[in-house]
Amino acid sequence: MNRLSLFPIALGLVASAFIAAGSNGAKAEPTLSAETFENTKTLYFQRCAGCHGVLRKGATGSNLEPRWTKKMKDGTVKTGGTLKLGQKRLEKIITLGTEGGMNNFDDIFNKDQIANLATYIQMEPPVPAELSIEEMKKSVKIYVAAKDYPTKPKHDRNWKNFFLVIERDAGKVAIVDGDKKEIVAHIPTGYAVHVVKTAEKHKTEKVENMGRFWYTMGRDGKLTKIDLWQTPDKMRVAEVQVAYDARDVAVSGDGKYVIGGGYWPPHFVIVDAMTMMPLKVISTRGVNVDGVYVNESRVAAVYTTPQASSFLVSAKELGQMWQVFYKDLKNLKIVQMDTHKFLHDGFFDPTGRYFQIAANASNRMEVVDSVNSVAVASIPTGKMPHPGPGANWVDPKCGPVGGTMHIGEGKLTTWGNDPKGNPDSAWKVCYKTELDGPGLFMRTHPNSDYVLIDQVKHPEPEIQQSIQVIDKKTGKIAKTIRVTKEPGKVALHMEFNADGSEFWVSVWNRKDSLKPNGEIVVYDTKTLKEKARIKGLYAPTGKFNVSIRINHVT
């Protein structure tokens, strides 16, 4: 189960403090054996830390420090009116999930693993090690030297309609030919890649052969470089470890730099895009918008600004957006913009000027102006917004709009995002649509009449296996598509092909497997009818089409 290398070793530095004999039952001082502690620590990292934090202080998820999770020594479950969860209650929550957006885990973990996790989160969280830039530099691996990069594609496929598909639990990215619906390669990457990005169109800067090089960020902090011009066995060209736990990556407008955002250590790293050598490390620890110092201020999202030579970095726990200007790394200019906690994921408006990002815990979408480096709006939404890669479209009443679904409830919130052409609607809620369940991702395309939304956060199989289709003209549900009926599988993350004539939906088996256990279902954008199924994929989740992404199509 322990497929991570550096991170568990770092966490293991303090594991011995918790070694003790005995059962996992509810006790005043919960204990686990050394081996069980190590295995459970890895489970927590893989499945829980993203929402609850390595130090368990909470963000998208609740605070899970022992002061909230462990019963008192006298066996009481309340102190000063505050509920202490305890072993049995924790096991029930992990098993069944919650209405607040936490998944059930009874289809992933067995009863012993659930009991061990409940015990583990009643124990003091181990503090992982730091990661120096010297250690990062030593981790660089070159699989294909830059001097050996081809000057033209070594295959005759239409690489601009390739899809890069995250094979989450296998630690791979699949390259799929969007024209032929064929899997081209399975490329080893970091564990549970969260996102894949390439250089995108920029107002003032240009990258030659845009969309050729892609960069993946694994949850284990491994940054991998992919060259789509290579033969399948040579597409992985380089990698570097920039954190022990990470989520996002972006490429500068000129293609010279890659930025990786770390959850732990809480920092971002600027890397040479050609050599993958780390150049600059900046910590995001600091004082949050409430005036409180935060040691675990994670970087949830990093994006390149299409209208400025800069990156946008979300300091999740600080409630701040940082604009980092990359032209002069020696004298790095950073502008900090106060918004709300906890910043997670976002997307640009159609002009590429305004970045719209979810502040999960504050139930708001925040808007920053990347031209003037200022926060301009805060939009109230439903419970725990999560737009994923986002969606922009034109509403008959409000004009250009953006939207988000939510982790905490089945709802679509839509707002105006055209302050120049439609100032009366700008940054105000246009309408809300009730959905069958909460979800994570939404997408659309200028050639589509619909907005597509998944419902993967709902515990009922019929709902989490379906996507909902919203009519752009009415804002209402036009159709619900049941993508799969196979037990244990869910439907999530939609992506259009290069011309927008198709959209692809992942079918993900949430339980780890060493065999291909998922597929992609391809639909016709106009008729909404199924066209094909692409099998042979390992737990496919996010998908990224080359042409869609380099052109900022949302």
Catalytic choice (340, 344, 458, 493)? 344
**In this predicted structure, what is the pLDDT of residue 169?**
84
This prediction's pTM: 0.86
**In this predicted structure, what is the pLDDT of residue 512?**
61
Question: pLDDT band at residue 99, thresholds of 50, 70 and 90?
Answer: low
Mean pLDDT of 158-173: 95
Is residue 45, in this structure, part of any structural domain at all? Answer: yes
Q: Identify whether the C-beta of residue 540 lies closer than 8 Å to the C-beta of residue 165.
A: yes
Give the chain's domain count.
1
Residue 303 pLDDT exceeds 80: yes
- Is residue 386 part of the annotated active site? The answer reads yes
Q: What does the mean pLDDT of the chain come to?
A: 90
- Is residue 430 part of the annotated active site? The answer reads no
Catalytic choice (52, 194, 267, 340)? 52
Which of these, 447, 438, 446, 488, lies nearest to 468 by C-alpha position?
438
Query: Domain range spanning residue 84?
Result: 6-120
Q: Identify whether the C-beta of residue 470 lies closer than 8 Å to the C-beta of residue 450.
A: yes
Mean pLDDT of 176-181: 98
Give the up-direction half-sphere exposure of residue 251: CA atoms within 13 A in the CB hemisphere.
Answer: 30
Catalytic choice (48, 321, 398, 405)? 48
Three-state DSSP class for 513? coil
Q: What's the Cα-to-Cα distance from 525 to each of 10, 505, 543, rounded to whole Å?
A: 47, 12, 17
In whole angstroms, give the CA distance from residue 327 to residue 203: 15
Instruction: Note the pLDDT tens digit of each residue in 507-541.
Output: 998 766 667 889 999 999 999 999 999 999 999 99
Instruction: Note the pLDDT tens digit of each residue in 15-68.
Output: 333 333 333 444 457 899 989 988 888 888 777 887 888 888 887 788 888 888
Q: DSSP label at 233?
A: G
Residue 306 pLDDT exceeds 50: yes
Is residue 111, in this structure, part of any structural domain at all? Answer: yes
Is residue 68, in this structure, part of any structural domain at all? Answer: yes
The enclosing domain of 112 has a CATH number of: 1.10.760.10
Catalytic choice (267, 340, 386, 406)? 386
- Is residue 194 part of the annotated active site? The answer reads no
Is residue 95, in this structure, part of any structural domain at all? Answer: yes
- Is residue 102 part of the annotated active site? The answer reads yes
Share of the chain above pLDDT 90, in %: 74
Instruction: Note the pLDDT tens digit of each residue in 435-492.
Output: 999 999 999 999 999 999 999 999 899 999 999 999 999 999 999 999 999 998 999 9
Instruction: Note the pLDDT tens digit of each residue in 278-297.
Output: 999 999 999 999 999 999 99
